[in-house]
Amino acid sequence: MTSRQGSDGSSSARVSGSPVIDIRDVGKRYDEGPPALDGLSLEVRQGEALAVLGPSGSGKSTLLNMIAGLDRPTEGSVTVAGVRVDELSETASARYRRDRIGMVFQFFNLLDDLTVLDNVLLPAQLLGQDRSGARDRAAELLGYLGINRHAAAYPGRLSGGERQRVAVARALMNRPALLLADEPTGALDTASGAEVRQLLTDLNADGQTILLVTHDLSLAESCATRTIELVDGRITRDSRHPRAETAAGR
Ligand code: ADP
């Protein structure tokens, strides 16, 4: 966690050839209505920060659920970090979510009756990892994210921005190949939103592959290195771009 992006704001030099996400010809049809995803293909390489934009009902959540193994396509294949996610059993899918991906949500999804430290330790406990190694990793993350002074506090005592930092620490605990973020600034005030934006930017500059679903154009512009737009379950725009400089940016 030491390197930083180049002075031009681009992290493209860090993007390597191996695909973290490889989605091929995915369709998702429900009994009623038009398909939620319609022949969608998408490859995301290691080191990319991809923002998924699109109007309400365009298929963003469906796409996120496919990648997280929370839903299955009716056609096509979804491979993440070498795992055929669309073919996993329910148990294997839960293990995949614990091992390979980290998830951050709009409303944090922290457990209010556990301390910050215990929230962050939870994924390691679920994997049955050695406790002292897990505590070292949690301490490292809390330090990196600037929230170690809150380790013994309960989430209810923290600001929204601090809670989202705890959620990010928890998501990173098992060193996920992919960080999925669903409207991570959606419930935050402007200042906290800018903090989380900077945090995601720094994480990607340090090499973390990120997929971000958002309505927040400034989040996409400042944090992502690539943006796709969905309309009616299809990709209508796919552009790689340098990050926009923000007031909080380096
Ligand atoms: P977004 O996240 O971009 O708002 P969604 O992925 O939630 O879009 O939805 C895409 C389309 O699929 C919408 O037309 C929505 O009504 C439909 N849809 C989503 N979930 C279901 C479901 N469980 N049953 C039927 N239709 C659904």
- Pick the closest to residue 234 from 52, 59, 33 (CA basis): 59
Residue with token string 């180049």: 6
Task: Output the CA 51–ligand 1 centroid distance in Å.
Answer: 19
pLDDT at 6: 39
For residues 127 and 6, what is the distance between their CA atoms, to the nearest angstrom?
Answer: 36
CA of 28 to the centre of ligand 1 (A): 10
Closest ligand 1 atom to residue 59 Cα is 6
Instruction: List Cβ neighbours of 24 (8 Å cut-off, separation of 6 or more).
Output: 41, 76, 77, 79
Average pLDDT per block of 10 residues along the chain, 250 residues long: 40 66 97 95 97 96 96 97 96 94 93 96 83 90 92 95 94 94 92 89 94 91 95 97 63
pLDDT given for residue 15 in this prediction: 67
Q: Tally Cβ neighbours within 10 Å of residue 125.
A: 12
What is the whole-number distance in angstroms between the Cα of residue 31 and the centre of ligand 1?
12
Question: Ligand 1 centroid vs 98 CA: distance in angstroms?
Answer: 25
Shortest-distance atom of ligand 1 to CA 54: 3
pTM of the model: 0.89
Specify the pLDDT at position 14: 61
Q: Which two three-digit tokens encode residue 124?
A: 């390691």
- Sign (positive or negative) of CA dihedral 66, 72, 74, 80: positive
Q: Domain 46-70+92-247 classified CATH 3.30.70.20?
A: no
Q: Cβ(204)–Cβ(214) under 8 Å?
A: no
Please list every protein residue whose CB sits less than 6 Å from any atom of ligand 1: 30, 33, 36, 54, 56-62
3-state secondary structure (DSSP) of residue 53: strand
Closest residue by Cα to atom 5, ligand 1, is 59
Ligand 1 atom at minimum distance from 30 CA: 25
Domain ranges (residues) in the chain:
46-70+92-247
Q: Kindly report each contact of residues 238-244 with a partner whose C-beta sits within 8 Å and lies 24 or more positions away, as own/partner.
A: 240/12, 242/8, 242/9, 242/10, 243/5, 243/9, 243/10, 243/11, 243/201, 244/9, 244/218
